[in-house]
């Protein structure tokens, strides 16, 4: 029997992410239609990455119980979505998405809420993942139809209404018990953490595993750029309409979810995981090189989904620390710091390329990745 509070969390998460999914394929096109440049789009995506990285610590700064943290995040998202209905200035949209990103942790705090209950955490945590993914998928599939037939105002209003409904549902979730420990205020420690990480990066000995380090940072950057600018890439290369964009973005969410669910079971019998990593890295680089030569959208998406699966395998193997980076904490922390830096600067740099060269930036992205991958794999796999 699923507790009532968990049922409400499942329904609320589904409605919340259904509204979020409506906005995903359309936002970048809306920013451009409102007069925003490709450079501003890059700043928006970089800012959202930073805000998402800080959001848990930001919400915890208020020392709220978990059910109030869920309500706080949902309310801030509601405010951000209502602003989109009435405001169409690119820089205001940027600030609005920063507000959305800094409080976009409804799913995370829902899992923390479930974790403190005396129930099967893994089972109900997976249920929450399913509710989230199905909400995002159905939202992205519906987004293009609503936008093409009713316009952006109706789309953003629908998003706000769904967010409001999820907020109402969360109101009926049972409060945390009085004895629940308040989370620490980690955001106050953030400046010191950033300084220490940069100091560690300057002193870490990266040279003896430089091929592996650069490879990990490079493929993480490629993943960030391909997903954050996915809509722009499809529009620039194949003139894709909003309905088809929604279908492909929804397909992307489904493939990522399927990989998260089934890959751990498929990889369990594999003993030599370093060899699997190397082979998958070659496949991943081959897919990246194939993007520029895809003659049609169908073949491009086939290559993209194959690349997404191979990336998921690489990412899962790195989480399992197949190259034992975590045995050298200084090196591991330096690699993670480099990933954060390139994920912040990468979208901005790519936006400068798109602003100056348009579709040529996509070719540069794929070609740049190919050069890096081939160089690293030839030098590293010998």
Task: Report the distance separating Cα 226 and Cα 46, nearest Å.
Answer: 13
Is the model more confident about 12 or about 222?
12
Residues 152-191: pLDDT tens digits?
999 999 999 999 999 999 999 888 765 455 555 555 666 7
H helices, E strands: number in the chain? 16, 0
- % of the chain residues with pLDDT over 70: 87
Q: Report whether pLDDT(122) > 80.
A: no
Determine the average pLDDT of the residues in 28-45. 84
Kindly state the tokens that stand for 37. 């440049």
Q: Report whether pLDDT(21) > 50.
A: yes
pLDDT in the model for residue 31: 87
pLDDT in the model for residue 378: 64
Please give the mean pLDDT across all residues of the chain. 81
Task: Report the distance separating Cα 202 and Cα 204, nearest Å.
Answer: 6
Domains (range + CATH), the chain: 4-167 (1.20.1250.20), 197-380 (1.20.1250.20)
Q: Which of 135-149, 234-248, 251-265 is least confident?
A: 234-248
Q: What count of other Cβ atoms lies within 10 Å of the Cβ of residue 55?
A: 21
Residues 354-371: pLDDT tens digits?
777 776 777 776 666 666
SS3 category, 104: coil
pLDDT in the model for residue 18: 93
Residues 6+ apart with CB under 8 A from 66: 109, 112, 113, 116, 176, 180
pLDDT band at 56 (very low <50, low <70, confident <90, very high): low
pLDDT band at 382 (very low <50, low <70, confident <90, very high): very low
Angle between helix 4-23 and helix 66-86 axes, rounded to 10 deg: 30
SS3 category, 87: coil
Task: Report the distance separating Cα 147 and Cα 130, nearest Å.
Answer: 26
pLDDT in the model for residue 121: 61
Question: Which residue in this structure is represented by tokens 């040529």?
Answer: 360
Determine the average pLDDT of the residues in 245-256. 84
pLDDT in the model for residue 346: 82
Question: Which residue in this structure is represented by tokens 């007069």?
Answer: 35
Task: Report the distance separating Cα 222 and Cα 213, nearest Å.
Answer: 14
Q: Report whether pLDDT(6) > 80.
A: yes
Kindly state the tokens that stand for 368. 């740049």
Torsion, Cα of 113, 117, 121, 127 (10° steps):
-60
Measured CA distances, 375 to 30, 211, 275 (Å): 39, 9, 18
Length of the chain: 382
pLDDT in the model for residue 75: 94
Residues 266-287: pLDDT tens digits?
888 888 888 888 888 878 877 8
Residues 174-233: pLDDT tens digits?
887 654 555 555 556 667 767 777 788 788 887 777 777 877 787 788 777 777 777 777
pLDDT in the model for residue 316: 87
Kindly state the tokens that stand for 336. 């993670």
pLDDT in the model for residue 370: 65
Closest CA to 238 of 143, 351, 359: 359
Task: Report the distance separating Cα 256 and Cα 260, nearest Å.
Answer: 6
Torsion, Cα of 227, 228, 229, 235 (10° steps):
70
Q: Which of 85-99, 111-125, 308-322, 366-380 is least confident?
A: 366-380
Please, where are the H alpha helices in 320-357? 329-357
Task: Report the distance separating Cα 148 and Cα 247, nearest Å.
Answer: 14
């Amino acid at each position: 029997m699923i507790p009532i509070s968990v049922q409400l969390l499942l329904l609320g998460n589904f409605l919340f992410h259904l509204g979020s999914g409506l906005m995903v394929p359309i936002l970048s096109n809306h920013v451009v239609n409102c007069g925003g440049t490709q450079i501003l789009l890059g700043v928006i995506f970089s800012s959202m990455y930073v805000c998402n990285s800080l959001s848990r610590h930001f919400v915890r700064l208020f020392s709220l119980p978990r059910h109030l943290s869920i309500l706080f995040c949902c309310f801030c998202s509601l405010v951000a979505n209502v602003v989109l209905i009435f405001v169409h200035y690119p820089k205001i949209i940027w600030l609005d998405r920063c507000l959305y990103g800094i409080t976009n942790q409804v799913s995370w705090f829902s899992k923390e809420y479930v974790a403190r209950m005396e129930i099967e955490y893994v089972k109900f945590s997976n249920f929450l993942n399913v509710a989230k993914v199905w909400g995002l998928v159905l939202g992205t599939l519906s987004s293009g139809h609503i936008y093409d037939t009713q316009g952006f105002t109706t789309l953003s209003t629908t998003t706000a209404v769904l967010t409001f409904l999820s907020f109402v549902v969360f109101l009926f979730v049972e409060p945390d018990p009085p004895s629940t420990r308040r989370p620490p205020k980690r955001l106050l420690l953030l400046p010191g953490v950033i300084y220490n990480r940069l100091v560690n990066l300057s002193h870490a000995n990266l040279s003896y595993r430089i091929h592996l380090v650069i490879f990990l940072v490079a493929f993480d950057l490629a993943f960030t750029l391909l997903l954050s600018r996915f809509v722009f890439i499809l529009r620039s290369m194949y003139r894709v309409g909003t309905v088809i964009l929604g279908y492909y973005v929804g397909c992307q969410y489904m493939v990522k979810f399927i990989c998260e669910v089934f890959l751990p079971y498929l990889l369990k019998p594999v003993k030599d995981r370093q060899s699997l990593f190397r082979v998958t890295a070659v496949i991943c680089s081959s897919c990246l090189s194939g993007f520029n030569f895809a003659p049609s959208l169908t073949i491009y998406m086939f290559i993209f989904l194959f690349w997404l699966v191979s990336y998921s395998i690489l990412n899962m193997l790195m989480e399992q620390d197949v190259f034992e980076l975590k045995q050298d904490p200084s090196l591991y922390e330096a690699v993670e710091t480099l990933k954060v830096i390139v994920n912040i600067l990468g979208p901005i740099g790519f936006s400068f390329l798109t602003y100056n060269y348009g579709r040529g930036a996509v070719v540069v992205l794929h070609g740049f990745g190919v050069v890096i991958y081939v160089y690293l794999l030839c030098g590293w796999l010998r």
